[in-house]
Chain A
Amino acid sequence: MTAWARIAENLRLGQDVFRLRLEAPEIAAQARPGQFVMLKVRHGGDPLLARPFSIHGAENGELFILYRVVGRGTKILSMARPGKNLALWGPLGRGFDLGVANPVLVAGGMGMAPLPFTAEELVREGKRPAFLLGMLTTGGYVALVDALDKRLKNVGVAISWASEDGGLGRKGLVTALLAEALQNGAAHILACGPLPMLKAVAALAAEHGAPCQVSLEAPMACGIGVCLGCALPAAGEGYLRACQEGPVLDSARLDWARL
């Protein structure tokens, strides 16, 4: 469904990371972990297309989006003030399948966005997810790290951090943490992050015979399955639409060599 949602808050949580809180009760009520919305960063034709963002949280009629400023659209979004209205549609796509045993959540960089919501819903279903989070550096992101740690602590989940500069948690890649978790009994992977990380995660999953759900990005124009712009190479042949069959897909359904 479409909404014309008032910005309640657009809070900077790090040097280039913001958390947007939108009053969008109907979308928030239907949102499931791993789903996304298409958000117009401003009204009208410039920029032309809406931007896809994962649902970072949904509660009390409000929808949360966690985003990094990477280009013109997200720059414009970062300057939007509370009180302003933005157009969006959603919730879209297939989210994470939560009916899994011993889940381990693996996030890399902004791939963290959908995972706190996912962890909360898993806990609500009586699961105890492990939560692994890797970043390049955590230096400029004190508020972000703090917000995530607190939010997950509220549901009894402790984040295992990895950072490539060694600023927080394990020095190195999050996949090192994942390899250990798999050895220690984690059974089912739910991952979101940059493509190289997801490739490594999918390879680890295959090695351990662990089922693995990955959330992928693709350029999107419509978000609702009609433009066919968001094609992801499918295992075997052909393509899957990131916005319909995805964005969360069983890693075995993808042709990683063509990705």
Chain B
Amino acid sequence: MSAPSLETKVGGLTLQNPVIAASGTFGYGLEYRPYLDLNRLGGLVTKGISLEPRQGNPPPRIWETASGMLNAIGLANVGLERFIAEKLPALAELDCAVIVNLYGEAVDEFAALARALDGRRGVAALELNVSCPNVKSGGMAFGVDPQAVAAVTRAVKAETGLPVWVKLTPNVTSPVAVAQAAVQAGADAISLINTLLGMAIDARGRRPRLANVVGGLSGPAIKPVGLRMVWQVAQALPGVPVVGMGGIASGEDAAEYLIAGASAVQVGTGNFQDPASCRRIAEELAQFCVENQVARVSDLIGSLRPPA
């Protein structure tokens, strides 16, 4: 069999392969240059960018768990101005899709970020992290409230012609209502899942492991949750492009997400297991296609069969 086609279309973009590096695990991209050829990635998502620089939470900020990790980084980032001046020019030279992840604590912050990035060379799409606290509603995350997600999405769409991906939190009973609200407000794709809220305790010292007490769980431990939510959204909203993530560490993991209904996948914590993960996972996915007589990776999307 000839080499399978890895190309996939998702949320207004055509990607050379479906493997994208996830926000917060790939820095501003260039940090990975010594480890893999960034031009061969399906895409990369930047660290979440906020209007002002953020220092982040006090340490300890991370803790390893069974097949996963907790993080409470606190969205530390260089802020919009420095991102545009110092990071974007080099990103603009890459041949892979660069998706800028946005973090705001109010609707107008998201809108201002989108306005500032609209039309900038090097930005292929925006991804909205709606797992952040909505200051106007007492700090409850935007992402648990369909109306708040719709408001953010609408405000961003009004400011930009760029494709807008809305990244959902798994810390809800069902992601479908939120996904639907985002799509009706104009989202071009749904990314999911962000981290699951968790906690770790040092029993001997009787203290939390993280200074922030609670943090986001990621890594292989959350893959079943990610698959379930991707599948739910894909079932409920046929035709809506989904970018799946959560615990992907191999080409076969990526194939599972595509089969569940994702059109592309993101790799987060996997980058920490091995800085060349994204390249390896794309290669393994190609190999998976060869071994399973799949001519185009896009043939896998949503191809789940009924239970045996």
Contacts and interface: CB of A to CB of B under 8 A. Distances in A.
A259 to B, nearest CB: 9
B170 to A, nearest CB: 19
B67 interface: yes
B275 A2 contact: yes
A219 B31 contact: no
Contact of B59 (A218, A222, A237): A218
A147 interface: no
Contact of A221 (B62, B220, B276): B62
Interface residues of B, number: 35
Interface residues of A, number: 30
B95 to A, nearest CB: 21
Nearest to B66: A46
B302 interface: no
A82 interface: no
A48 B62 contact: no
Given A229-B62, A233-B58, A49 B272 contact: yes
B274 A227 contact: no
B62 A219 contact: yes
Interface string B33-68: 011000000000001000000011011111110111
A49 B64 contact: yes
Given A224-B31, A228-B73, A48 B67 contact: yes
A126 B162 CA distance: 59
A238 interface: yes
Contacts, number: 96
Secondary structure class of chain B's binding surface, majority of residues: loop
Contacts of A40: 273-274
A219 B73 CA distance: 12
B5 interface: no
B71 A87 contact: no
A231 B273 contact: no
A227 B31 contact: no
A50 B61 contact: no
Interface in A201-244: 218-222, 224-233, 237-239
A233 B60 CA distance: 11
A228 B35 contact: no
Contact of B67 (A46, A220, A221, A238): A46
B196 interface: no
A93 B58 CA distance: 21
A2 B274 CA distance: 8
Interface in A184-213: none
B73 A1 contact: no
Interface string A232-258: 110001110000000000000000001
A47 interface: yes
Closest 9 CB pairs of A and B: A226-B27, A229-B62, A221-B272, A238-B55, A231-B59, A228-B73, A45-B220, A228-B76, A229-B61
